[in-house]
Every structure is written in C-alpha cells, then in structure tokens.
Amino acid sequence: MKMTQSLFILASLILSAHLMAKVDGHNVIYGEDNRKDVFESTNASFIELSKSTAAMINGSNLNVLDNGDVVVTGRTLESRGVCSKERFSKQISAANCSGFLVGDNKLVTAGHCIKSEADCNSYKWVFDFKVDFAEQGKVNVPKSSVYSCKRIISRALDSYSKDDYAFIELDRKVEDRQPLKIRKSGKISKGDDLVVIGHPTGLPTKIADGAKVRSLQGKFFVANLDTYGGNSGSAVFNVQTEEVEGILVRGENDYVSSNMGCQVSNVCTDEGCRGEDVTYITNIEGL
C-alpha cells in the first residue's frame, strides 16, 4: 500500500501517544458522537460508574507536586495532528489504555494493554483523570488516586479465539470508590443497550452511551460503541442492569485524513463498518 503524507501524520499521531504498541485494532464513531465528559453527563448512575474507571498512564507522565497532588502531563490531540475543530482537541492525551475496578484491589483491562510484568511495572493506574470544563488542558489528581500494578493474576491474548483480557492486582486497597458489578454467568442479548466509560485516544474520562449489541461471537460480542484507541480495557455496561458485560478490545480505524492536512474522526452509520469487539467479562479466569 502506498504511504501518503496523511498516513505518515496518522502514524505519528498514534505512535506519539504510545497507543499503536498497545492497541489491537482501533475504533470509530457510529452515528452521532455520544461521547461526553463526566461533567456534561446528566445521568447520575453513569457518573457514579465513572469513578471506578482508571487510566493506564506511564509513570513518566505523572509529576508529584509539593501539596501531594499529581499533575498528568502530555500533549493535546491538536498538537498530535488532530484537526482543531475535532471535539476534545484541546484536551490532554496521556492514557495508553483504560481499566476498571472489580475488587478491593483488583482491576481489569485488555490483554494487549498489559503483556508482561515489565508493563505491570512501567504503568500507573490513575482514577479521577477527568476534566471540569471542555477545553481544560491541565489535569491534577490526588496522589491517593494513583496506583501501581502489583502482579498479573490472569491474562489472555489469543489470535485464534480473539480472547483478550488482563486481570491484575493493584499495590493497595482502593478505599474511596466501589468495585463495579459484573455479569457472573450467561450472555448479553443482541439489541441490548450499552454504555462505555474510558479514555478514548488517551483523553480524560469519557462516557458514551447510545450503543447496542450487534452480534454475539464465541469469545466476544460486537457493538456500535463510540470508542477509540485508549478505550482498550474500558468497561462496557448493560444500561438496564448497570453490570459490566465486557471489555472493549478492538474496532474500526479511529481517524481519517482531511483535506486540511490533519486528522478527523472516522464516522460510520449505526449499522455500518465492522463494529467494536468486546470481550465477555465471564471469560476472565479467577474473577
């Protein structure tokens, strides 16, 4: 395939965000862009669920202040080559993947996000990585919201079955938020309503509802979720039960080239493109 200048821009965008090495497939907008910052949401349940969402951030992007707060550092989407007219272009992009709390000190993410003990040691898990207004460029979190990965409990990344998850233990108990409810048996049904909470393109926490299950596969289901690289590892919830049904792991390409020399979100109809793949939460060994 001929590599055009715009493709070089896209490659630079993703590589500079440290997402290419971590994301097994990328993602896309289906129909309307349903992503919202936490402060924009009017759904109290979704806001509560978002508190148990964590961003996987390299320790080098976290600077501790004298008052104990931690500054999350990184470049904005616009500085990485995304068009300035794109939503959230002025916000910082710092997360490689997403994860979510499932026990006092247990967290789930995608298997392609945590591939080894070296990954476990290199990255921090940061709760409360969110903004309070649309174009907020600087994000501080309390030091108490930053956790380390102690060990990998179980993990799968199977190229044949497409199973993809990681179950990890954090360095200490999480005291100030609740583990999420998860499905224990059975499967979600085609057409069920979904919401995903995570860190698209490494951004501060986004809530995206308005999605439905398209089809059920062996180790995963397919849905029209508005997700991007960085959402890998995000919790996908059943809107009716508020239980975690699965882990966002794969999907369509995030961005496409514009005639302005920058990148814009790839947009499909609600029924179009390949859909986004979600590992069943019931796949996880030991959970």
- DSSP letters, 167-202, are EEEESS---SSPPPPB--SS---TT-EEEEEE-GGG
Task: For residue 242, give both structure tokens.
Answer: 């508020």
> According to the model, what pLDDT value does residue 225 have?
93
Q: What is the pLDDT of residues 75-123, one digit of tens each?
A: 998 998 888 988 899 999 999 999 999 999 999 999 999 999 999 999 9
Separation between Cα atoms, residue 208 and residue 98, nearest integer Å: 14
DSSP 3-state of 37? strand
Q: How many domains in the chain?
A: 1
Domain that holds residue 57: 5-283
Letter for the amino acid at 65?
Answer: L
Separation between Cα atoms, residue 282 and residue 183, nearest integer Å: 7
> According to the model, what pLDDT value does residue 150 have?
97
Separation between Cα atoms, residue 200 and residue 204, nearest integer Å: 8
Q: What is the pLDDT of residues 179-202, one digit of tens each?
A: 999 999 999 999 999 999 999 999
Arithmetic mean of pLDDT, 2-8: 37
Q: What percentage of the chain reaches a pLDDT higher than 90?
A: 71
> According to the model, what pLDDT value does residue 214 have?
96
At a CB cut-off of 8 Å and minimum separation 6, what does 118 contact? Answer: none
Separation between Cα atoms, residue 190 and residue 215, nearest integer Å: 6
* CA distances (Å), origin 271, targets 27, 36, 63, 157, 276: 15, 21, 43, 28, 11
The separation between CA 68 and the C-alpha centre of its own chain, rounded to angstroms, equals: 26
> According to the model, what pLDDT value does residue 146 have?
97
Separation between Cα atoms, residue 9 and residue 213, nearest integer Å: 33
Q: What is the pLDDT of residues 126-181, one digit of tens each?
A: 999 999 998 898 999 999 999 999 999 999 999 999 999 999 999 999 999 999 99
> According to the model, what pLDDT value does residue 5 have?
37
Arithmetic mean of pLDDT, 269-286: 89
CATH code where residue 236 lies: 2.40.10.120
Over its C-alpha atoms, the chain yields an Rg (Å, rounded) of 17
Alpha helices of the chain — where are they, by DSSP H? 5-16, 44-50, 117-122
Name residue 62's beta-bridge partners: 72
Name residue 236's beta-bridge partners: 196, 246
Q: What is the pLDDT of residues 212-269, one digit of tens each?
A: 999 999 999 999 998 888 999 999 999 999 999 999 999 877 777 777 888 888 877 7
Burial-class residue 3 by CB neighbours within 10 Å (0-12, 13-18, 19+): exposed
Separation between Cα atoms, residue 117 and residue 122, nearest integer Å: 9
